[in-house]
Structure formats: C-alpha cells, structure tokens
Chain A
Amino acid sequence: MKTKWVLLVFVQVVIATTCTAAQQCTNVTSMTLPDVTKYLSNVDSSDQRNADCVISALHRLKDLGTPDAISLLVKYLDFKRPLTTPEQQGFYLHAPSISSLYPATDLLFAVGKRSVDPLLHAIAHPLTDQQHANAIYTLMLVFRDKAPDGVRAIVQASRSGVDNAGSSNLLRAARRAAQLCVPEQRHECEAAAKQ
C-alpha cells in the first residue's frame, strides 16, 4: 500500500513538472526578460527534450533586443540544437553549419552591430571553448561585408583595458578570425590581426 502511494506521488510530480515545462514553453514568446532568464536558468539545456523550448527562449531574447537580453543570448552561443532524425541518418536538407547548428549565432547576427560588445566580451572571457569559437564566428558574420573591420574590432578590444587573459584571448581570436575572411580579404585580415 505504501509503495503504491509513493508511486502515485512520483507520477503526480512528474506530470506536474512536465505540465509546467510545457506551459513555460508555450508562453515563452511573450515572456519578459526576467522570465526568460529564470526559465533558461532553470531548464536543462543539455536535455534534448527541452531543445525546442530553449530555442524559443533564445528567439525571445533576440526579439527583446535589450543589452541584457543580448548578453544572455551570447551566453548561449555554445548551445547546440540536436540533429533531426533525417540528419542523424545522414540526410541534410541543408549542410550542417555553425549558424544552423548553434541557433544563437544566427540570432546574434540578426541582431547586428549591437551584439558586437557582448561578443567581444565573450571572446575575451569565454565560458567554453565552443562559445569562444562561435563568438568569433558570429562577430565575423556581423562584419561580413567588411571582414577586416571585424578583425580590427577584436584587436582594438584587446587594447581597451581588458585584463591580460582577456587581451591574450582576443589577440588569438583575431588570428582565428582572419582565417574566416574570404580569400580576397584574407591578406588584409591577417594584416589587421597583426596590428
């Protein structure tokens, strides 16, 4: 009897948790920044079952567009969406790319120049290697029409009062960023990285 009772409570907790999560995901498109922040801090983004909701929350951050929302979005640069079933089987309607696998990169690119400072901060003080790499990638996307300027922005940031570790990260990032330039601009980008 006791076992049945414990099982019933467990089932109820699971149902309640699932329902709450579903409701949060449904409402995410109209959430305020504190709500989105709270949601993202509570959700296990590594759990693939939450991926759709996390992606919705990231879209909400882009739509909010405030500095705080953009900074939070930058923290999710290393959030990778799970592959779809066809992709897992090798069928890629679109070839896998950083922007398609890491939703925050494309969202920050859509935000535009307002994301530059948070991206530079992430490059200087990355939370993870993937976030660092994706921040460089995204920054160069933002500057895609004038890629050398993107490299210069990183170099300039390294000289703007950042600590030694940050400065070092930025200078390394500038060299990596130069490799993302198209061949015609590669030389200029590399020169910018050395300035």
Chain B
Amino acid sequence: VRHFHKTVVFCCGFLLTMAWAPLKITAQTAALGANVSRTQTHTLAPTQNMMPPAPLVAPLFVNSADVSSSLVLVNPTTKSASAQVLLRNLQGTVITTQTVSVPASSRLDVSIGELLRSASSSETTGSLVVRRDGKNIAAALSLTDNRQGSASYLDEELAMPMSTSSPMLRSVADDAAASPIISITSIVSVLQHVTIRCLPEHGAAVSRTISLPPNATVLSRGCVASSEPAISFQSVADAPDNSAAGAVGIELSSDGPAGGFAAFGLADHRSGASEYFSAAVFDDPMMKKSSTTIFAGVPVGSALQLASGTYTPMLTLSNFGTKVASVTVTLAAMNGNSPQTRTIEKLQIGAGQTKLLTMQGLNGDQNMQNSFLVKSDAPAGELFVKLAATSDGPLHEVEVLAKDAQSGYDGGGHPWSIADGNESTLILFNDSTDAQRFNVAIGYGSGKAWRKQYTLAPMQTFSLGIRELIEGRKEDDHGNVLPSTLTEGDVLWNTRVNAGQGRLLESNPATAMARNFSCYFWYFISNIWFNGPTAVTSGEQFSEDSSYQTSVDTDDINECFASYDTSDSLFLDYSWTIGNSSALQQVDCGSSASSCVLRGAATGQSSVSVTAFDGTCSASAGPVTVNIVTASLTLRAQNTQSISLDNSTRSQYISDTGGTDQLGFFVGGPSPAGCLAGTEMVGFLAPSSYTGQINLHRTVLSIACYNGSTAASCGSAGPDDSDAAHLDSDPQSGGSQGKVYDIDTPGLLPSSSTPQRFRVNFEEYAALPDGTRISPPLDYYVVLSCSRDLSGVHFVLDVQNDNTIGLGTTPLSWNLQ
C-alpha cells in the first residue's frame, strides 16, 4: 500500500451512478457565517442521505505475469475517510480484507499483487469490493497489460449496483479477434442465473444461461454457445475462441435481486504480432436518460497528442430493442476557431442487430477537437454504442468512453501527468445549443488552484494542453501561473447540468501510450443567502446580492445533500420573488444574475426571496421583510408647546432646562441659567408600524454671533447631530407609533448687559442607519438675543423679529436685515 498525501486527485469512476469528486475543498462555513443573515432552506432533508454508501465492485482483477492490477482510492474532500478492501477468488471465497484510511485530500494506491502476497495467496484472478464509510471515496481499478514491449492500460470502472438498479446490464464490444472475455460477479448471497444474450455483428444471436453462485465470479468467453467457467484469467485469455470474432452487443439479465451482480468485459485484438485488449463496459440500461450518446475529443485523421498514424473512428452499435432504430451520426469538428457540424451517417439498426461503422477518410482537427454525437429514435437504454479510433500506426486503438447526453452530471475530475515525456490534454465539449461557460481548476498544492473560465460555442470541442499552460506560464483569471516544477496533479471542470462533456487524455506519442480518464461527478448548490437592506425609502434603488455554497457528491445525483463543500462555482438560474410589488419593484433581476436590483415604490412592507437552480437541485433564501419607509418632519418650538409625552428624551430635556418641559423661549438650564430656545423635531414615519432605527440629522447651514452689533466667533456651518441622549430614534418607544425625535436647546449665557445674539440656520432630515435619507430636508432658523443685568438674564427685544424660531432661513446680520 502506498500513500500519496498530495493535494492532487487521481481519476476514477464508477459505473452506473458513480462519479468523481473534486479535490479542492474549502470549508467556508465559518467565514461566510457572518454574512448569513437570512434564512436558508435546502430542497431536500438531510435524512435522505443517511443510507450507507453502496459498495463498489470491480468484477475482475488480474495479477498474472502479463497483467497486473492496482486499485486507486481517492478522497477529494476535507474529511478523512476509510474503506474496507475485500478480495474474493472466483469461487467467492474471501482471500483477504484490508481496511485502509484515506486522509483528506489525498490518494491511496493499493497494489492488488501486494495484497495477495500479504495474504500468502497464489490466486491470480478474482473480484474486488470496496466498502466505504462515506461518500467521499472514489475508486478505480487499473489493469496494466505488459504483454507487449510497452505497457497498455485498461481502466476498469467500479460498479455500484444498488437495489434501485435493474437486474440487467448491457455492453458493446468492438470488432475483436475473439469472443469477449466476460467477468460476471455476484454481490449477493443467493444463487442467480444470468442469461447472456449476444447480438453479434455476423451471424445469429447467441444466448445461454449460467449459474452464478453467491459472491462468485464467472469468467468465460461470453458469446459462445457453451463455455466452462475459467479457473483464471490466463486460462481463458490463452484459449481464444476464434469462431466468435467481430463486434457484438452483450446483454446480461439475472433472475436474482436487482443490483445483484456486476460485469466487465475484455475484447482481445491482434494487429500483426501485437495483441491488446479493449474494454467492454457494462451499463444499466435503466440508468440511461437519453437516446443520444456523446464521444468527446476523438482522434480523426492525425492527432498531435498521439503516436503517428492515421486514426479512423469506428462505431459499434447494438440495438437491444424490438424495433428498428434510426440512427444519425454527427461529427462536430473544429475548423480553425469555429465548430462545424456535419452528418456523417444515417443508418438503420434492426432489432437485435449489431453494426460496425468504420468512418474512413474523415478529416478532423489535429488537436482532437472532434466530437461525435450518436442520436437514435430508440428509447433510452436500447441502443448501445461504443467508439474507438483505430490507427495504422504503433498505437492500435484509442477508446473514448460513451457519455449519456442527459446523464445529469455537470462536472468531472481527472488526474494528469506530464512526467516521463507524457502529455496531458483536457478535452471539453459543449453539446448544447447555447454557448456555455466551463470552469477549469488545476490544483497545485496547499489548496491552491489555477482557475480559468472558458466559454465554448455550441458544438465546440476544446483541448487544453497542460504542459503548454505550465511552460507557457499562462495566467488564470486571477493572474496566477502554475509552478514550472509541476508535473502532475488533478484537473477539475464543471459547467451547466447536461450541457457539456469532458475527459482527460494522457498520452505519449513516443511510446504510443494513451489513457483516458472520463470520470464525472456532480456539483450542486447546497445553500444560498443574500444580503441587502431591510429598510429603504421610496424611490431608492438598491441591490440584493446573493451568495451560494457549492457541494459535491462522489456517488449519487439528485440527493441535493451537502456532505462536502467546495469552493467551485456553479452556473445557476435565479428566480427572485417580491412579496408586495406595489411597494417594491424589480428593476433588474435577471435569471442568470446573482443580484436583484430593486426600487422602493411606495411606503409599506414587502418581502424578497430567491431560489437558485443548478439544473438538478435548488436552494432558497427568504422571504426577508423589506420596509419601504418615508418620513416627514415637523418642528415644534412654540412657547405654548411642551415636549411630547412619548418622546424618550423628555427627561433629558427637563434636565437640560433645569426642570421645565416647555418649548420655545425661556430662561432656564443648569446653573447659571441662560436664555434658551427649546426645539423638538418630530419625524413622522410611514408606515407608522416601522420598528427599525431612524435617525434625525441636523446641519448648521450658517451661523453668526454678535456682542451687540459686533460679530463674535461662534463656530461654523457643518454637521450638528445631537448626541445619543438627545435623540429618540426608536419609532415605537414610549408608544409613539412611528415617531422619532430630536431635541435641542440653543442658548446664550451672557455675562454683561451687552446683548449677545445668535443667528443660526439649521437643516434637518431623517435617515436610515445606513445614511439613506427618507425625508426631505426641513430648514429652520433660531434667532436669539439675551443680556444680563443684576437680576439675571433676559431676552432682548431691540431687533424686530428677534427671538423667533421659524421655518425657512433667516438673515444672519445682527439686526436681521
């Protein structure tokens, strides 16, 4: 067992619904928690995810002189994980069990040969089961064929049979030299009978039924009339059945429980003196969601990333249905910078028929920016298609994994390496009818990632050479470059659900090596929140800005349960809902925008909520109440008036004035007394039920002071807000039902008989705590003259209109002229 505590992810995938998870996980919860000021709802309850994860099954491992196997376990999350790896021989007897732990964000390579040696087992063939403790382990089995001078690789996707699966699997094997070798593994404790139905390209259908004992594996030539179960892979590989050559469709159906078995096939090929295998991947037809199969990044003609030669795409199509299927094969190839789509073939596949379509003479893009779409009118799951590109050069065949156009996945994750002269090329394909954005993230350690967004035109295939990114010091969208010493890592991508495909090609033209990593996984939205004001004023335009949390699931789609958060972004559709549109109007709340611009239309109350949809899951926030508040100001300052009873500053006023609650002009205040001008500014709010804080702000517009008729220094214009003790900013305090107050007592404390004079112009307005004005300004003035004699201070009335408080403005001259 070798541990690789790296911040990179190796790629693997699970047949049926297994997918890949991204590596770079960042726990944002704490950081974002401060911003979560709104309610959030998940679309589904967390309890739906309480089921233990289904076991993963590799129906065939081989540890012989020619072929070796290696299990790769990857934990792409921030939580450590453990799994039990169990090897069985063909009879179903457990050879060994080993529990392994996979630390967070790391990969573990398990050599099957070493596992067997540690168990002192001489077994060379069997099956493998991975039992995980959580859905944060992905796994793949890599078979390395060393029969030729250079190793060739086959990636065996682990199956995840479940009770919701169907008791049937189907596959297509390409044009091979012999009947495919099929490994069928029971994962239940009851005897099953599995019927193998083969639809050969040539000749009649072949069908036979085998007995599959509990937990056993039956390994045999699949499409022959009769075959004894092999005792080892070597024994069946060394005895090919040349009478059953050609392409073939294979259907396995069991009388056992649903999800009771898994299968994997190998088709052997001979090219001159060379021998190699291609894979026959079995899928559950019930899991197919569409009748369109996509092959992204196919070598057509020459391919710069591959060994020299002319590559000829070859399609194998098997119709398992009971009706003729009409099939259209389309090639979307790049011509310069533009995608060009052309129909390559229209053909009919009879019921139960398998056809081989060799597309010779096609020209394509040399950077493998070529993708095929195979559409049929058959129901989903009835037409199975396999594509391989054969070459007249040293690299005999390149397989491209078939992807369902409506799989529901929206991302993928693949390992890459440019060590030993290898090249790694990320291939993306937009199979939708609209331009699509693809996020690409290449991890390079310690949680860092090179991130760039690419926009692909409809039917555009895009290849991204990672060596070119590194050696060319290409900057990402944030100005980051990949370290020049980087030779391997993981690449993650995502786009809209069902909008795109992707895979990674690792190749070496010199050694005629090519490996594909086509593992998909599923990003989804698990939370959303938005921030914005909860109070605005009429006519005010403002924005509600939403943020969301992305999560990833390594197993299932459609659960919408956030086990593992990531920092990757999604492509979401937003729906903003306004509760009372007469009070709050939408200005710009587009479906693709995370923000909603609104305008307060009328006083009152409304609400805002948002739902974001990623194509599979949705998350909602709100409704959040938004008040549209306005205020009108009234100045109270007549001598006949007193401070309002519901004004919370009343006690303060009485204290300031030395015991009176009278407004207007009076002699008072703490010792020594002075000539005071008591004012009470009242802000009447609409709606009067508003409970939030409203502040009254006062400004000195202009001011002048005099001793007699001689100007004196007394400050300047500017902000003149009352201190907190002189403000009643709670519109409901004291039962005031929508009123806020500001009290003030400008005054003069003269020390002589020379009149002192105040001439001040004020302006006042009401505002929300964020400063938004919710009232028009109210201008008022205070003019005051006062002198002292032996009996104390007195108001001086030597100037007409002096000692008044009024609305509007006043001249500032000593005599008010």
- Chain B contacts for A95, CB-based, 8 A: 656-657, 669, 674, 676, 745-747
In chain A, positions 92-134 with a C-beta closer than 8 Å to chain B are: 92-100, 105-106, 109-110
CA distance A92 to B705 in the complex (A): 10
CA distance A95 to B793 in the complex (A): 15
A5 is an interface residue with CB less than 8 A from chain B:
no
Nearest CB of chain A from residue B752's CB, rounded to whole Å: 9
B654 is an interface residue with CB less than 8 A from chain A:
yes
Chain B count of residues within 8 A CB distance of the other chain: 43
Task: Check A99/B714 contact, CB under 8 A, given A91-B748, A91-B756, A94-B746.
Answer: no
A145 is an interface residue with CB less than 8 A from chain B:
yes
Task: Check A93/B676 contact, CB under 8 A, given A144-B648, A145-B734.
Answer: no
Nearest CB of chain A from residue B186's CB, rounded to whole Å: 67
- Chain B contacts for A160, CB-based, 8 A: none
- Chain B contacts for A3, CB-based, 8 A: none
Complex contact A144–B747 (CB within 8 A): no
- Chain A contacts for B191, CB-based, 8 A: none
Of the stretches B21-29, B37-45, B717-725, the one at the interface is: B717-725
Our pick among A85, A106, A182, A184 for the contact of B725 (Cβ within 8 Å) is: A106
CA distance A141 to B657 in the complex (A): 16
Task: Check A100/B723 contact, CB under 8 A, given A93-B760, A184-B645.
Answer: yes
B812 is an interface residue with CB less than 8 A from chain A:
no
CA distance A77 to B705 in the complex (A): 32
Task: Check A105/B725 contact, CB under 8 A, given A90-B756, A92-B746, A93-B720.
Answer: yes
Our pick among A86, A99, A105 for the contact of B712 (Cβ within 8 Å) is: A86
Give the size range of A's interface with the partner. Answer: 20 to 34
- Chain B contacts for A94, CB-based, 8 A: 722, 726, 744-747
Q: Which chain A residue lies CB-closest to B726?
A: A99
CA distance A135 to B63 in the complex (A): 86
In chain B, positions 454-471 with a C-beta closer than 8 Å to chain A are: none
Complex contact A93–B715 (CB within 8 A): yes
Task: Check A145/B715 contact, CB under 8 A, given A91-B758, A92-B747.
Answer: no
Q: Which chain A residue lies CB-closest to B651?
A: A182
- Chain A contacts for B730, CB-based, 8 A: 145
- Chain A contacts for B657, CB-based, 8 A: 95
CA distance A85 to B705 in the complex (A): 12
CA distance A86 to B748 in the complex (A): 10
Complex contact B674–A92 (CB within 8 A): yes
Complex contact A98–B655 (CB within 8 A): yes
- Chain A contacts for B670, CB-based, 8 A: 96-97
CA distance A141 to B705 in the complex (A): 32
Our pick among A85, A99, A144, A145 for the contact of B713 (Cβ within 8 Å) is: A85
A51 is an interface residue with CB less than 8 A from chain B:
no
B78 is an interface residue with CB less than 8 A from chain A:
no
CA distance A89 to B714 in the complex (A): 9
Our pick among A86, A145, A180 for the contact of B655 (Cβ within 8 Å) is: A180
Q: Which chain A residue lies CB-closest to B668?
A: A95
In chain B, positions 113-169 with a C-beta closer than 8 Å to chain A are: none
Listed in ascending order, the chain A residues whose CB lies under 8 Å from chain B are: 84-86, 89-100, 105-106, 109-110, 137, 140-141, 144-145, 147, 180-184
Listed in ascending order, the chain B residues whose CB lies under 8 Å from chain A are: 645, 648-652, 654-657, 661, 669-670, 674, 676, 700, 703, 705, 707, 712-715, 720, 722-726, 730, 733-734, 744-751, 756, 758, 760
Q: A94-B746, A141-B651, A147-B651 are in contact. List 9 more A-B contacts (CB 8 A).
A: A86-B705, A86-B712, A86-B715, A90-B756, A94-B744, A95-B676, A96-B670, A99-B726, A181-B651
Query: Across chains A and B, which 5 residue pairs bring their CB atoms closest together, nearest first?
Result: A99-B725, A95-B745, A86-B714, A91-B714, A95-B747
